[in-house]
Amino acid sequence: MSRRPLRIGLSARIYHPQAGATALLSKSLHYLEQSVAHWVMARDVMVFMIPAVSGDGIVNRSSIRLSDYAEYLDGLLLQGGADVSPQSYGEEALHPDWGGGYRA
């Protein structure tokens, strides 16, 4: 009897648009780093990228909610990033370059 592989959600990394840029560099991008995805997939699991859920896009998103992912997936791996502001979890940056992007 074969078992189905685990289904693991991997939070998307976010590339923020550059002012004055064109094409892809002018857009918000959600992506997975290949090495991270391959590291997870090496454990014989299926990886699903979980995009940021936001209602401010130019296209209306579907009725899928974050709780729908929780019902479908066996686990979730949250990627960090340099843009996570320490203010978002009640702390101050230890170095001026580590301010991150903060949205109240």
Total domain count for the chain? 1
Residue 87 lies in a domain: yes
Residue 4 lies in a domain: no
Residue 48 lies in a domain: yes
Query: 32 is in which domain, residue-wise?
Result: 9-17+27-54+62-95
Which of 102, 87, 79 has the alpha carbon at shortest distance from 30?
A: 79
Does residue 100 have a pLDDT over 70? no
The predicted structure's pLDDT at residue 53: 65
Which of 22, 92, 99, 11 has the alpha carbon at shortest distance from 52?
A: 11
Residue 102 lies in a domain: no
Tell me, what DSSP letter sits at residue 65? -
Does residue 86 have a pLDDT over 70? yes
Residue 103 lies in a domain: no
The predicted structure's pLDDT at residue 54: 61
